[in-house]
């Protein structure tokens, strides 16, 4: 059963990333919890409403999101996804190429799995 839940979460995560890169507000609306805490690697915080608005308005354009080394850890009603991600995003007239580590929490709700926390931080350059 854990493998089935993990497969479902990975599918939903792919769906979420696709929605970010195609400005699919309806899918983001369905997959994100109303209570989400979305913390960007810059330290900027978004609510569900502000995150979706930034994408649909074109203020933020996710061009590429490529995850690596993703792991899923299931706990009673929650799933913790961790890994690394490369993101190409256009914001403020600039294109940023981000190399990040992330923690992504999903909660099992009456509506199905919904993302409730995103936290990312830059990966330090090797010494």
Placement of tokens 């699919």 in the chain: 24
24 neighbors 96 (Cβ within 8 angstroms): no
Domains (range + CATH), the chain: 2-122 (3.10.450.50)
Residue 92: predicted pLDDT: 87
Residue 126: predicted pLDDT: 76
pTM of the model: 0.92
Look up residue 118 and give its two tokens.
């995103």
Q: Strands of the chain (E only): list them.
A: 32-39, 45-46, 60-75, 78-91, 94-109, 112-122
Taking only the tens of pLDDT, the chain with its 127 residues reads 568 989 999 999 999 999 999 999 999 999 999 999 999 999 999 999 999 999 999 999 999 999 999 999 999 999 999 999 999 999 989 999 999 999 999 999 999 999 999 999 999 877 7
50 neighbors 34 (Cβ within 8 angstroms): no
């Amino acid at each position: 059963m854990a493998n089935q839940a993990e497969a479902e979460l990975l599918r939903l995560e792919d769906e979420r990333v696709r929605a970010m890169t195609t400005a699919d507000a309806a899918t983001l609306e369905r997959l994100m919890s109303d209570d989400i805490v979305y913390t960007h690697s810059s330290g900027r915080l978004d609510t569900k409403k502000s995150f979706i608005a930034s994408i649909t308005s074109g203020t933020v354009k996710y061009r590429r999101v490529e995850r690596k080394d993703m792991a899923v850890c299931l706990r009673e009603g929650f799933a913790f996804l961790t890994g690394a991600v490369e993101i190409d995003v256009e914001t403020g007239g600039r294109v940023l190429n981000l190399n990040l580590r992330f923690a992504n929490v999903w909660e099992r709700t009456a509506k199905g799995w919904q993302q409730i926390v995103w936290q990312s931080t830059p990966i330090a350059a090797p010494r």
